[in-house]
């Protein structure tokens, strides 16, 4: 959403209020392209901020924390 995180947050809140089925709500709908080479998907490097049962939060400089669903985070704590 072009670096505008407030509108992005509103989109996710609307999806939550509409009670989408879990598989549809968690499906990847959009993969942004790399700014330098548009043939590749964007990759971000960050730091694991928190790991909980079934999910983690990743901090990436210049972006809000990312929610990362999953159950196999290895030895991360």
Residue 2: per-residue pLDDT: 64
Residue 20: per-residue pLDDT: 75
Q: Which of 3-12, 57-66, 68-77 has the lowest mean pLDDT?
A: 68-77
Strand residues in 1-77 grouped as ranges (E): 47-52, 55-59, 66-69
Nearest-angstrom CA–CA distance, 5 and 24? 22
Residue 11 CA from chain centroid, whole number: 13
Nearest-angstrom CA–CA distance, 60 and 44? 7
* Residue 50, beta-bridge partner list: 57
30-59 pLDDT tens trace: 888 998 999 999 998 999 898 888 888 999
Q: What is the pTM of this model?
A: 0.51
Number of H helices, E strands in the chain: 2, 3
The per-residue pLDDT of the chain, averaged, comes to: 82
Residue 1: per-residue pLDDT: 46
């Amino acid at each position: 959403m072009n670096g505008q995180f407030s509108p992005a947050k509103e989109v996710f809140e609307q999806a939550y209020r509409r009670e989408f089925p879990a598989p549809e709500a968690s499906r990847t709908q959009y993969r942004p392209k790399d700014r330098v080479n548009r043939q590749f998907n964007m990759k971000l490097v960050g730091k694991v901020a928190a790991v909980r049962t079934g999910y983690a939060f990743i901090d990436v400089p210049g972006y809000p924390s990312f929610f990362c669903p999953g159950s196999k985070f290895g030895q991360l704590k």
